[in-house]
Amino acid sequence: MYFVSNFAHGVLTKLAAAGACIGLGAGIGYWVAKEKDTIPNAQDTRVLGSEIAGLKVPAVIPNTDYENEAKPAYYNDTATPMHQRMEALVLDLQDRLVVALESLEPSRKFIRDRWEREDGNGYGISCVLQDGEVYEKAGVNVSVIEGTLAPGQLRSMRERNPQTANKLNANEEYDFRVAGVSVVVHPRNPYAPTAHKNYRRFEVYRKSNKEAGPVLAWFGGGADLTPAYLFEDDVKYFHQTLKQACDAHDPQYYPRFKQWCDTYFTNIHRDETRGVGGIFFDDLEDKAPEDLFHFAYDAGSAFIKAYVPLVAKRMTMPYTLRERNWQLIRRGHYAEFNLVYDRGTKFGLMTPGARIESILMSLPLTARWEYMNQPEPGSPEAHLLEAVRTTTDWAK
């Protein structure tokens, strides 16, 4: 028998009151724990995973060869405003990733939930797959919205970046426009890693003179990997694939964004990173908009190549209740970061008319908080903890 954990409910209540949040395009999950008298031994080796019996890895995973595929029309369409091209990019990234993920899943298709803001200032498309044989929960969300910056949003933007503070007057009103794609995938098999991706372009306009064009515009995003069990070759492949995409535009991007990712995705209260990293950047405006747009295209496309083959590689591995319980514990830590530290949700929840279901999409369907869980020294679980408590150059 399952019940909603009182601890989780209390944390959620307090964090919601404090305004803690996730990122653009995240969704709600269910935090569950088993009653004390039915919690199995963490070392239980009963084989689970009956779903893996019918799984087949496709000979070819679609959309994983972006370097050799023809570029879409919007890629070089400089006659079209950049915000419209970014909208086309995030919709394209959404469609290509959904097709790639569905190529592994025999029992479910993504539902497409298109929504409109009540004030008419934008829309979103939430593609969600739950309770599949390969994916316990996966979300690929697009948001294209505009509005007026709330005072708290403006203050947060100015505080995090001195350059932004110099360009935005604290006493002036500004409108914003943003297009972004946000992805979180929680596979069912504990050996298949969770992953996250987010790419967006943000524009800020003076409310009194929007026709003059954006006062400020930047790109942000990245991708990171969160395994419950560490396969070093998988992590190296993931990082090397992202590095290749970065190096094609600037050899300094990968080391810079990799360090940024390690720093940002940290559960400070546990002194560990959320996973094994990737790349992360924000407020990126160090090159011409056209160059940065092409970088966002390549980095967003590289995620499909970097991640989906890892799910295919691990989704048929046999596992036991021990691995399942550890996966749920790690998902609890994942949720902790998203609710306590992720600043993207702060922006989402501070935006009037925000769609909460989509904002909280990244939370796992199930998670576990086990009192004083300590893996045995030398165990695979302890090996994972060592990896998230140190910094490693995975792209070597």
3-state helix, strand, coil in the chain (%, to 5): 40, 20, 35
- Please indicate, yes or no, whether the overall pTM of this predicted structure exceeds 0.75: yes
Distances (CA, A) of 279 to 54, 107, 112: 34, 32, 28
Can you give the pLDDT at residue 368?
A: 97
pLDDT digits (tens, 9 = 90+) for 95-138: 999 999 999 999 999 999 999 988 889 999 999 999 999 999 99
What is the rounded CA–CA span in Å between residue 175 and residue 209? 10
pLDDT band at 44 (very low <50, low <70, confident <90, very high): low
pLDDT digits (tens, 9 = 90+) for 343-372: 776 666 666 677 788 778 889 999 999 999
pLDDT band at 51 (very low <50, low <70, confident <90, very high): confident
> What does pLDDT average to over the chain?
87
What is the rounded CA–CA span in Å between residue 138 and residue 184? 6
Is 196 an annotated catalytic residue? yes
Residue 158 pLDDT > 70: yes
pLDDT band at 35 (very low <50, low <70, confident <90, very high): very low
pLDDT digits (tens, 9 = 90+) for 373-388: 999 999 999 999 999 9
Residue 318 pLDDT > 50: yes
Can you give the pLDDT at residue 342?
A: 84
**152-166 average pLDDT score:** 73
Can you give the pLDDT at residue 314?
A: 98
**18-39 average pLDDT score:** 34
Number of other CB atoms surrounding residue 30 within 10 Å: 13
**Per-residue DSSP letters for 73-91?**
GGGG-TTS-HHHHHHHHHH
pLDDT band at 168 (very low <50, low <70, confident <90, very high): confident
Q: Which residue has the higher pLDDT, 266 or 28?
A: 266
Can you give the pLDDT at residue 157?
A: 73
Catalytic residue among 9, 83, 186, 196: 196
Can you give the pLDDT at residue 27?
A: 34
Distances (CA, A) of 360 to 183, 273, 335, 346: 11, 20, 10, 11
